[in-house]
Structure 1
Amino acid sequence: MASSENIIYRAGVDYESRPMVILCACNLPDPSKVDYDTILRVVLAQLEQFVENDYTIVMFSGGALYRPGWGWLFKAYRSLNRRYKKNLKALYIVHPSTWPRLILGTMNAVISPKFGSKVHYIDNLSHLARVVPLNQINIPAAVYQHNLKFEDTITLPDNQQDHAHRVFGAPLERLMGPNGEKGLPNFIQDCIRNLIENGLYVEGLFRRSPSSAMLKQVRAAYDRGNPVNLTEYDIHISAVLLKLFLRELPEPIFPVDLYSLLQQQKRGEDQKTVAEFIRSEVVTKVTHNNLILMMEVFRLLKLVADRHESNLMTPHNLAVVMTPNMVRHEDVMQEIALSSVGHRDKDAPVDGALTLGTVVKVMIEHYDEVF
């Protein structure tokens, strides 16, 4: 059975400081397998927390796989006695199809015409943002997917165009504090946790691409400050979001002034010597915030590489796909050269000039020695 927490849950408050309750039709289970009377009791019990004061309900109607029958819906409607209806100030139905319009229209006409004045039909998420604070709602993945049928981009009203929540392209000092006192950004923690719990054995992790449309939706949700449950999405979205975050940092995770230092490293060194060079000369020169982020990202990459027999992502393969997101150079050809990765063999000496790609590979292979 779908968790009741996925069907009905509390969000923030609306523009008049009334608590918002979210109902998600997309999380309703198969009625042939679950007793919907049990679901009704759970929903009513959750609403009991709010009925003594004014409250607002947002119902996501789109993306549902299962629809309860007419008989159950009339029963549910009749179960909403005066206590539930009196203090309900607005019921916003998002992505309404003919189904909810017809049912509610019939119920309001037959049972309570007055209740009908509280029902508002919302065409898309941009429309919803004009009536309630969108960034306070955990919007299910199925709802974002359904919303793409009506709009490619969610547009916030001018009074909500606040970039304080922006994650991508934001400096680490704002996200973590000048000295890392805020810790790792929640977004990074979300991605890493999801990848560790659900992605370590997935073939092509960090190499394969997810749906670009859904990637755009999740990225925008984080930048708006929306709560996001990454476990609802393709695991490759978490991987690509992490790469995008690193790519769009105003200052790269490896400082630009390290590039010339790499060129001075002797050729033909064995990898343990290179690992010692990275520990003493590279890691010590990054900022405290960069170091915190670097340690967590490379810890994840090491966990992925340790399972390369399943996911096919060796340290070499990971370095190939990750390094271009960590290097920044005004000369594109220099950037490509810096991103190149040396020999695939873990024990082979570093041939040619030391590149950032090789540094990334060695840091994955020798994580414990480097950090």
Structure 2
Amino acid sequence: MISTADLEQLAEIEIQREEEEQQCLDGPQIHPTSNYCSDTSHPFYDVARHGIIQVTGDDNYGRKLIIFSSCNLPPSHQLNHHRLLDRLKKRQTTWGHRYMKYTLDQYVEMDYIVVYFHYGLKSHNKPSLRWLREAYNEFDRKYKKNLKALYVVHPTNFIRIVWNIFKPLISHKFGKKLTYVNYLAELREHLNYDQLIIPPDVLRHDERLRAAQKGGPSPSVKTPPPRPPLPTQQFGVSLQYIREKNKEAVIPPVISQTVTYLKERGLRTEGIFRRSARVQLIKDIQKLYNLGKPVSFEQYGDVHVPAVILKTFLRELPEPLLTFPVYDQVQGIVRVESSLRVTRCKEIVESLPEHNFIVLKYLLSFLHMVSLESIINKMSPSNLACVFGVNLLWPAQGSVSLHALTPINIFTEILIEHYDNVFSSRCPPGQVMP
């Protein structure tokens, strides 16, 4: 039986061999120079600026999406890997949580998935295998329990060797969460591909792999034009479309029905909005709504189901509820003096189109209500903002970067915590309150 030491040596040899093969396939490499985080006051700016870890919001089933890109790892001598990992030793408590935990701790209390882009891991920038073992041991049960899927993109023999090294440490249940993804297109089967922040180097590498694959699928697969929406469609269509087809409904039926149910059954549920639900079940409920058929959440017996449906509805709007023009204004909230932020948020909200304002006010009234029960449900305005921020606002082009999440979450937290002040003056006629 091959020993761990032999496996480690084999891994080192393998990554050097793969590096040589990649140089032949890819040609000269240009290391990324653009900074993902330009805020030098960020507590982990030295790590955050590389864009190694990105959080891009929820997938369509209520799970946070976290991306780790190996190609953005700088050479080992330029990055202290222990700044990337919080070693929770007593003599280090003054440092508190380091970057990976600083990032993940904001999201691992809820269900999440990880996409790991392996391309770009080289002998000069890879962490040591000892560090990887320490990393796995440092992440306690809450990180492993709430991780629902780990997608390893462009796996190599090095990955498989490392997996064998770790097998004695990894439970069978955790191992079942791992999925190897050979080409980027395969990710579409598992998650919302458009939400991914994919480094240009990874995109180019994927194209080269496909070009080198004899008799394989074309690098670019044409998708058929989308079908026109059904008259009863609820998901993936605009607020205006829903209102036109549901003339008596000021609030979209999905929002009003999920909020009504959650007000009755979910306000005191610990971790409400943090859990996901079975993917197929969410798809089935979406189909019922889109066909105009009745949905009874009573039959599912799980308050997390309507909670996920509510987030899914918001995320699938073609334009976010807060609208695209507001995005840059919200990003500027961090430059506003703290004492003036509530007033600024109020100004931004009042600039929304009337229908968006009505729906937002209805939703935020409910989230404020949830936050008032935070002693029991553990969902403070800050926690709710981490869940809902990226479902209320995203840019017209691309995904929300980890750096851009901070102002979005601050803005959303203010809307929830200071609901009465933010929504006090503007009350359009005919508004329906929850």
Instruction: State the TM-score, normalizing by the size of structure 2.
Output: 0.42
**Higher RCO, 1 or 2 (CA under 8 Å, sep at least 6)?**
2
- Could you state the TM-score of these two structures normalised by the residue count of structure 1? 0.49
Over alpha carbons, which structure has the higher Rg?
A: 1
